[in-house]
Structure 1
């Protein structure tokens, strides 16, 4: 029998194990997340006077949430409305050090927007960066990770995308898990999308076992662009590296080839079908980035094809394997 003097030590060990396991499985993203994100289509447009319908603003995300519902996307599973970069003021609050949404473009803050998205039966996602700055130069989470995690919870965020610009790649193996742990400690369920391996590509082998423990999904490679060449370059990367990547995908932890660009300018009808098919077979997150008000009916039909979506959302979560003999 254990002596009673060992009990405090055992409690400490159990506490540390539970704490370490808190990032292992938050019970989220048991199938690949589906939704809409601003970046590929709207980038960092902040001039609302010149581009009132395209600038990164409360108006854009309210409208996109409304269209996800009214155009039938929500009915087939698209549920996340995700703000990407450029939503911030250039500086943190000088008294609290908290992140501040741009006061002109998000004049009512983010809680009002989150309430609108949630009232539609959807979920709210938000971008940040592990480095000193976001990729567009706004404040990152370094030195403020606990504060930012709590702020996201207070803003009723459901999904966090953490980029890796202006950061040391050597710090990511500790930094990304730490931020995931802090998100979990808020008590609010938040899907955690990591960009960690995208910054490792070409320099070192991604640490897939760590990614599975600490992230719900992770960007594997370069940003997608609005072209068929970009789609196929990413598809080739996944095919050429599938032996190392494929075994690690599954419920709660997914490889992410980046956004669906269907409905923009770069893909033909047949190319649109091909991207949707490849992403479905890869068990990839289906995160659209387009102007939902301008998606043509035939492209909307592809995006809402229930049979293709069913392949992607199979609860077994097995990422398909590609033939490497494509010419």
Structure 2
């Protein structure tokens, strides 16, 4: 039997003020270009890897044909370097005429015809991070432009601007977007740039969550385990502050899923997918869907893991126990019965080289006397038997591996709560004792 179960908490989810545009009630999902294609604009030398409309159309088609749209990945996000280097004579943004000859409105229609949404990139500063025109003196005009193009999602970065202007500036774009009358999900870079300036404690998350549907919290992620691990370490350090800020309609964003990039192994990819889901983070891939291996596709398309991320409570799970390189994480999830939530629990071995043994009693995780749980592993699809509060388990996760479990309440056909309670687990293949 696998060595982990979870417990029931009596808790109430407090009401939080959030951006009132009614959007992103669950974490956004989709595909973004940056971590794979960056700012490649030479389409003669790199015709299949440059920032142009062909790239985004091809990725959209793969979302549809390969089952990603059906699993919830319903947005294509354009990142930096899509514009001309200067605005037009009226001060309007213009898509690069050679690389986007059809224009953004036509590209949005291409997405909408496939039941996808289109996201676009801008920057609050004088320039984007790659040096293209920024929005600081053009907020209303740019919001109107995006709405006229039928854009569905805006990522507003924070390069080339004094960060002390952000608490007033980012809400100005909120207001401008709302005035357009078009529903546009709004992703902010605001807390990220306070982190870069080593001023995390100056971030007013109450103001952030009123202005933004999501907000970047840490450095750009790269396609390596070292980068993923740095992100995990940072989120753990600030998890109490971040968890208080998060709610449906407003999400902490630890950056893109780099699952499928060359230097990320299958086990490491599973760790990222697991923890991003425990955190209720946006699941926005950045990879090449045209060449994505089946082993990575299987991770990204695991419906039961995605359901943990997309749980309607929108609670950010937190690390509750740590032993050497092993982390144990807990997240309240639906359904809620008699004010008690179900739970998801993850065990992650962050060590690349060592197999470690983790041993603990379920009582230490809060399993109450008399409660029993059926366990099922969602990564392997295997049922793992029954456990209760007296069970002591020894778990041996392989190097850089993960296990995620989620308790589910269930009823019989008369509406009576069944016992034992249904308990679902998400985990990687592991040696057991």
TM-score higher than 0.5: yes
| CA deviation after TM superposition for structure 1 residue 326, in Å | 4.8
Determine if the alignment matches structure 1 residue 183 to structure 2 residue 177. yes
8 Å CA contact retained: 1:192, 1:215: yes
- Structure 1 CA distance, aligned partners of 2:307 and 2:92? 41
Determine if the alignment matches structure 1 residue 48 to structure 2 residue 43. yes
Which one has more relative contact order, counting CA pairs under 8 Å at least 6 apart? 1
- Structure 1 CA distance, aligned partners of 2:280 and 2:42? 36
Relative distance call for 1:324 and 1:141 in structure 2 (3 A) is farther
Determine if the alignment matches structure 1 residue 111 to structure 2 residue 111. no
Determine if the alignment matches structure 1 residue 152 to structure 2 residue 146. yes
Deviations 1:104-153 (A, max 9, x none): 10011111111001100000000000000000000000111100000000
Q: Secondary structure at the match of 1:243?
A: helix
Deviations 1:3-41 (A, max 9, x none): xxxxxxxxxxxxxxxxxxx98310000000000000000
8 Å CA contact retained: 2:19, 2:213: no
Q: Secondary structure at the match of 1:90?
A: coil
8 Å CA contact retained: 1:23, 1:177: no
Correspondent of 2:304 among 301, 304, 307: 307
| CA deviation after TM superposition for structure 1 residue 204, in Å | 4.1
Correspondent of 1:127 among 121, 128, 139: 121
| CA deviation after TM superposition for structure 1 residue 324, in Å | 5.8
Deviations 1:205-234 (A, max 9, x none): 221100110100000011101100100110
Correspondent of 1:196 among 186, 190, 203: 190
Deviations 1:184-210 (A, max 9, x none): 110000000000000011124221100
| Alignment correspondent of 1:62 | 57
| Alignment correspondent of 1:255 | 252
| Alignment correspondent of 2:87 | 92
Determine if the alignment matches structure 1 residue 82 to structure 2 residue 77. yes
- Structure 1 CA distance, aligned partners of 2:160 and 2:322? 38
| Alignment correspondent of 2:420 | none
Determine if the alignment matches structure 1 residue 173 to structure 2 residue 167. yes
Q: Secondary structure at the match of 1:308?
A: helix
- Structure 1 CA distance, aligned partners of 2:200 and 2:114? 42
8 Å CA contact retained: 2:125, 2:136: yes
8 Å CA contact retained: 1:23, 1:184: no
Give the superposed CA RMSD: 1.1
- Structure 2 CA distance, aligned partners of 1:204 and 1:280? 24
Higher strand proportion, which one? 2
8 Å CA contact retained: 1:239, 1:324: no
| Alignment correspondent of 2:384 | none
Higher helix proportion, which one? 1
Relative distance call for 1:223 and 1:45 in structure 2 (3 A) is same
Correspondent of 2:133 among 136, 139, 146: 139
Relative distance call for 1:176 and 1:326 in structure 2 (3 A) is farther
| CA deviation after TM superposition for structure 1 residue 325, in Å | 2.4
- Structure 2 CA distance, aligned partners of 1:266 and 1:128? 29
| Alignment correspondent of 2:32 | 37
Larger Rg: 2
Q: Secondary structure at the match of 1:192?
A: strand
| CA deviation after TM superposition for structure 1 residue 77, in Å | 0.2
